[in-house]
């Protein structure tokens, strides 16, 4: 269980790094697709970063994705090493997914995006957009993920059990 909490902290730190570092390295259209319509419209003419910065952004994204997968594998391997069955492995994955989602909603969405308006630094033309103050801007996507998590966790737990046999 301690390993799961350590991996949760690790995944949250990776995600925070991603949110804080990637915006000036990502193509505007790609980055903006995660934000509300009025912000997308205001930033539609924002220039993309130079090619070398975009390449660095893609490389960092690939490394971070591999690190996320590594965290999931580590949780499964630790559970198998401790002789956990499906219910315990499922619980570990649920703790990881929902713990991360709480961090995502409270820290990344509500604090960084809404309260601090961090992305306005990179996209100043969006400063006056009403969606920067909308605390529910990402509600439907978040709800979809929250509903899907038990199924994803069950699948991951079952794969872990099969691999561990």
User: Could you read off the pLDDT of 89-129 as tens digits, one per residue?
Assistant: 999 999 999 999 999 989 988 898 888 888 888 888 888 88
Q: What angle do CA 101, 30, 104 make, to 5 degrees?
A: 10
Q: What's the pLDDT at 164?
A: 85
Contact assessment for residue 60 and residue 42, using Cβ atoms and an 8 Å cutoff: no
Contact assessment for residue 140 and residue 36, using Cβ atoms and an 8 Å cutoff: no
pTM comes to 0.85
Domain boundaries, the chain: 2-164
Q: What's the pLDDT at 150?
A: 96
Provide φ and ψ at 36, rounded to 5°: -60, 160
Question: What is the number of alpha carbons within 13 Å of residue 23 lying toward its C-beta?
Answer: 19
Round to whole Å and give the CA distance between 86 and 104: 27
| Closest residue by Cα to residue 42 from 131, 137, 139 | 131
Q: Which residues of the chain have pLDDT under 50?
A: none
Q: What's the pLDDT at 59?
A: 93
Question: Position of tokens 């419209």?
Answer: 41
Q: What's the pLDDT at 67?
A: 94
Q: What's the pLDDT at 109?
A: 85
Q: What's the pLDDT at 146?
A: 92
Percentage helix, strand, coil for the chain under 3-state DSSP, each rounded to 5: 80, 0, 20
Round to whole Å and give the CA distance between 11 and 13: 5
């Amino acid at each position: 269980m301690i390993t799961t909490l350590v991996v949760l902290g690790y995944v949250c730190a990776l995600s925070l790094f991603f949110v804080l570092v990637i915006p000036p390295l990502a193509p505007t259209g790609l980055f903006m697709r995660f934000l509300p319509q009025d912000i997308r419209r205001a930033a539609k003419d924002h220039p993309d970063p130079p090619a070398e910065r975009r390449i660095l952004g893609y490389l960092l994204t690939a490394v971070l994705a591999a690190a996320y997968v590594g965290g999931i594998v580590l949780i499964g391997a630790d559970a198998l090493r401790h002789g956990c069955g499906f219910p315990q492995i499922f619980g570990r994955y649920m703790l990881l997914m929902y713990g991360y989602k709480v961090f995502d909603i409270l820290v990344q969405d509500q604090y960084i995006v809404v309260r601090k308006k961090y992305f306005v630094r990179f996209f100043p033309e969006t400063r006056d957009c009403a969606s920067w103050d909308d605390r529910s801007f990402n509600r439907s996507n978040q709800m979809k993920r929250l509903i899907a998590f038990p199924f994803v966790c069950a699948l991951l737990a079952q794969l872990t059990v099969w691999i561990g046999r």
